[in-house]
Structure 1
């Protein structure tokens, strides 16, 4: 008994994205689909001004 397969939903950027998928595959979990739902702004609020020192 255990997890045989999974649908993977990825959110965010960084080094953990690919290593997570490799970890699932290394444990023998069948990945049926990978979905990337990283939030991307559609030209949202103005970014803060650069800091002057």
Structure 2
């Protein structure tokens, strides 16, 4: 799992490098994270997580 700042833009940037979304769905884990999975050009599955809420 990798932390990202912008889960909406990151998969698009990774697609240019040969990654593809495993599912088009971005899921929400409680009120803490938005999550999705991508598969790299070598077939490795990678989770992307964007933390919700601001830091104090």
TM-score of the aligned structures, taking structure 1 as reference length: 0.32
Q: Which has the higher helix share?
A: 1
TM-score of the aligned structures, taking structure 2 as reference length: 0.31
Greater relative contact order (CA < 8 Å, ≥ 6 in sequence): 1
Decide which structure has the larger Cα Rg and report it. Answer: 1
